[in-house]
Structure 1
């Protein structure tokens, strides 16, 4: 794993993220959102939940807060995710979560970049173009590409991206790379969300067909989306990156400032 950046500049970016993004409720989308002091609790329309920890509690008070969430979702009969960041306090928070029955899932790296310091140059290999998409047909083509890359169903993707595109609080733009021919093949898909009322836009996706990797397409999509954010007046780009992409994002100038781990509780 790439080392975390603990420079003053990186810590300032992380603090801005904690203050602006982690405290953000977002849209309920048919569910409920509750502010519980040290937690924001979101419950989806189908019952599953998400817990955003804001900090400031410790000892028995923290243990009770965790136990209350277990009791709440036990009553619902639904699973819940507590999103943990490695800079969260107290340092024994993971142990407290596992003691309460939460299980850690796959970790990701939180990277943040100052848009003014990131390259705006979009360089593509010959025969490839970038295009913003909104139609159902194009979103289903993106679904098929993702399924070819990962080998399992992404049937949720067209509906999810349609909601992103229409979302007023966090509007999204979907950008794909495809071949320039009479029957264009979609080779990479990505999207960006603009978090209204904050300085942040977030990058998502970027899966690329194996035969098109290593040609600069992912880099070009980052630069293209960086330019979309700059045009709208945003200051920072944020990514929760998998092991596959964290290295290239760091080389592009985004700073790795924390590691995130979803702790899952199931009834």
Structure 2
């Protein structure tokens, strides 16, 4: 594929991503409230700000909008994440967020691919010797996933079982684990975005001794196959610097970046 055709495809994928995944679809299945172009997504212990675009607002209006989201969740004693995409306008939005007390976290790359293309590219890679991959739905397995994630990231992921229980109960999320000798060594989940053509791929963390064996690719292949079976045309990933090169070699295209800007009340 030529650079020009790749660029054209990237623009088409970005347009589909913006049209289908920005705004209301990011807030499905959780309480929300509106403030102009902004949707406040109200998770049990934190907030999330979603929007399609901020067109038509001048600088003072953008500053006021940011401050209202900060103050709304601060009044509830909660942190709030403003998820900034690399192509969002106005161009000085990062500076405005910092001025309002939001702190940027690690930038990730937004990657998109056609589900059927990934299934074809990974044909025969759905399994790994000595590893069992299976779909799970019990809280006990979700707690095992949280323990694995806590070990990988050296952080407290005890919030994850409740999140996976909620997601699974909607019927729009499939959760998979990879096991070796009864130990969860990796896990990932697929989120089927209703009324869109997109399946989100989340998770994929793997215990260090088991990396480099193809487990991550097998979990991508498994979820891509299920996305095709459910009729979802696209896969999308917010990819870390570790997973982004792997996914791009598999045929995912980078279409933008995403950076969480987080305000935590004193």
Q: TM-score, normalised by structure 2?
A: 0.88
CA distance in 2 between counterparts of 1:67 and 1:148 reads 36
Alpha-carbon distance in 1 for matches of 2:132, 2:71: 51
Q: What residue number does 1:10 align with? A: 10
1:191-232 CA distance string (max 9 Å, x none): 111111110000111111212111111111101100000000
Q: Which residue of 2 aligns with 1:142?
A: 145
C-alpha distance in 2 between matches for 1:256 and 1:111:
5
C-alpha displacement of 1:257: 1.1
Corresponding residue for residue 22 of structure 1: 22
The answer as to 2:95 corresponding to 1:95 is yes
Range 118-127 or range 85-94, more displaced: 118-127
Question: When the two structures are superposed, what TM-score results if normalisation uses the length of structure 1?
Answer: 0.87
**Any stretches of 5+ residues in structure 2 without a counterpart?**
none
Distance 1:10 1:79, change over 3 A: same
Separation (CA, whole Å) in 2 of partners of 1:190 and 1:37:
35
Distance 1:94 1:229, change over 3 A: same
Q: Where do residues 158-169 of structure 1 align in structure 2 (5 Å cutoff)?
A: 158-168=161-171
**Mapping 1:52-63, distance limit 5 Å:** 52-55=50-53, 56=55, 57-63=57-63
The answer for the alignment partner of 2:36 in structure 1 is 37
SS in 1 for 2:243: helix
SS at match of 1:243: coil
CA drift of 1:144 comes to: 2.6
Structure 2 CA distance, aligned partners of 1:122 and 1:153? 35
Q: Which residue of 1 aligns with 2:176?
A: 175
- Between the two proteins, the alignment pairs up a number of residues equal to 255
Query: Does structure 2 retain, via aligned residues, the 8 Å contact 1:189–1:205?
Result: yes
* Structure 1 unaligned regions, length at least 5: none
Cα distance change, pair 9–166 in 1 and its aligned pair in 2 (3 A): same
8 Å CA contact 2:176–2:188 kept in 1: the answer is: yes
Corresponding residue number in structure 1 for 2:235: 237
Q: In structure 2, what is the equivalent of residue 112 of structure 1? A: 112
Post-superposition offset of 1:146:
2.2
Q: Check the 8 A contact 1:201/1:229 in 2, yes or no.
A: yes
Give the direction of change, closer, same or farther, for the CA distance of 1:156–1:70 in structure 2 (3 Å limit).
Answer: closer
- SS in structure 2 opposite 1:90? coil
